[in-house]
Structures are given as structure tokens and as C-alpha cells.
Amino acid sequence: MVEIDSRIRDRIDTGPRFTTADAHRLNNLFRGATTQEMLTTVLTERMLGDVAIVSSFGAESAVLLHLVASVDASVPVLFLETGKHFPETLAYRDLLVDRLGLTDFRNLEPDPERLAAKDSTGLRWSYDPDGCCDIRKVEPLARAMTGFDASFTGRKAFQSATRTALPRFELDLSDAAGRLKVNPLITWTPADVDAYFAEHDLPRHPLVEQGFPSIGCAPCTNRVKPGEDPRSGRWAGWEKVECGIHVPLGDGDPNLPSF
């Protein structure tokens, strides 16, 4: 714990912040700890350096935002304002920022010149969703993350087959700077999420009751039938399963636990 903390303070900016060994060590350190215990420790002891929450303000986002805000409401919250969200999501975002007292909320917008050059019609999602996500999500987040060492995500194992093997702490392999991704809710079940919403009287995203268990940009989000993979309504008809800010783990990925 101390070793990781001192390395963050003393690091040279160009060096990797964390390694896969650090991620494994953190996973071992917090094995058996509750989500609240883990969050309280890493935030109060600054074990992750400068950390932000990346939130979609989607169906279950209120849980992670409330958990982190309960420890420190000043943790920066990054929202990818793609320009393609449902109006309900933007209203829900504003409601949660106010209700949870999030004091460092940040909208991340695409670079206007890149947008004009690569998606002047605003229809790139319809023929090249990967390219659209790059311009509207991946690039703005990469720019914002230069100021951070780690990020919290709201990913959960039950959401899709590509998320079942995710550990709590993982090295972001798409990022040469060695940033960590932390998945505090990875072991949570739908029942855990529902119970947390009820216990803390958190407002629901208005589209959940209309059949959207996973909510992203409006053109790329469909309703899901009961019993289907909650994320099956995202990019329906395409091979795409993640927007590019999360890369699915593959065989041999060093983030996978080695038993």
C-alpha cells in the first residue's frame, strides 16, 4: 500500500503510473473487502493518485456515484457529452449532480474541428460506429485522462459476456501511461443494485421503466426484451459490444487472474 502510494508521489510524469503487478496486488489487498471499505481506503489514503469517475449517467450509474460521493463528493466526474444522448439522460445527469452534491462534474465534448472533418452530417454512427465512438468518446476521454492516474467505472459482470472476467483493479492496456481502471461494482448482482437504489432512495433513469436496461447514445440504444443480455440493445446489428473506452479482456490478458 505504502509502496504504491509513494511511487505515485515520486513518479516522473512520462513513466508508467501502474503495472499489472500493481493491479494484482490491489486485487489481493482488497479481496474480501466490501465495496464501501475498498472505496473508503483507496480514496482517503490516495492509493490511486488522482482518480476520476467516468459515468454514462445510465441505468445504474447512480449507485457508483453515490458510493464515491459518500466518501468524497469532490472526486471529478467525467461525462462524455457526445451530442447524441437521449434528452432524458441529460436531465437525469443534472438531477444526480445536484442531488448527490457532486462538486467537480465535467462534460467532455468532441473536438469541434475533428467533428467537422469526420462527421459533418452527424450520421457517422450509422455507417461507422467505431469511428463515431472514437471522435465522440475515445478521444475526449483520452484528453481528459492525461490529468488522472486512474478511473472508476460502473461495469458489472452480469451486464454482458464480455464483462464476466473483469477484476476489480485492471491496468488499462489501451493506455501506455499505465493508468488503472477500477471496477468497484464488478461483483454486484442486479439484486444488489436494486437494493442499493431502494436503501438510499436514489432516482432511476426515466428510460429504465420503458425497457432500456443499458442506456448509451440514442441512435445506438434499443429496447431489450426480458431475459436478454442487458447490453444486447447497444449497437444492435453490429459486432460492436463496447464503445472503445473499454476493451474486452481476451485470452492471455495479463489482467486476468492466474490461478
Q: Which of these segments, 64-72, 128-136, 160-168, 185-193, binds ligand SF4 (CB under 6 A)? A: 128-136
Sign of CA dihedral 259, 167, 59, 231: negative
Closer by beta carbon to ligand SF4, 17 or else 155: 155
Q: Which of 17, 93, 137, 156 binds ligand SF4 (CB under 6 A)?
A: 137
Report which DSSP code applies to 203: P
- Kindly state the cell numbers that stand for 215: 442506456
Beta bridge mates, 221: 234
Q: Is 243 known to be catalytic?
A: yes
Count the residues of the shown chain that bind ligand SF4, applying the rule CB under 6 A: 13
What number of CA atoms fall less than 13 Å from residue 113's CA on the CB side? 0
Q: How far is C-alpha 236 from the chain's CA centre?
A: 21
Specify whether the CB–CB gap between 105 and 77 falls below 8 A.
yes
Specify whether the CB–CB gap between 232 and 224 falls below 8 A.
yes
Sign of CA dihedral 178, 155, 167, 185: positive
Q: Which of these segments, 70-78, 131-139, 184-192, 200-208, binds ligand SF4 (CB under 6 A)? A: 131-139
* Least distance CB 231 / ligand SF4 (angstroms): 12
Q: Which of 42, 53, 180, 220 binds ligand SF4 (CB under 6 A)?
A: 220
Q: Which of 42, 51, 202, 217 binds ligand SF4 (CB under 6 A)?
A: 217
Q: Which of 16, 206, 219, 230 binds ligand SF4 (CB under 6 A)?
A: 219
Nearest-angstrom CA–CA distance, 163 and 188 = 12
Per-residue binding string, ligand SF4, 53-92, x by CB under 6 A, is -----------------------------x-x--------
Nearest-angstrom CA–CA distance, 75 and 102 = 8
* Least distance CB 136 / ligand SF4 (angstroms): 4
List of residues contacting ligand SF4 (CB under 6 A): 82, 84, 125, 129, 132-133, 136-137, 216-217, 219-220, 243
Q: Which residues are catalytic?
A: 243
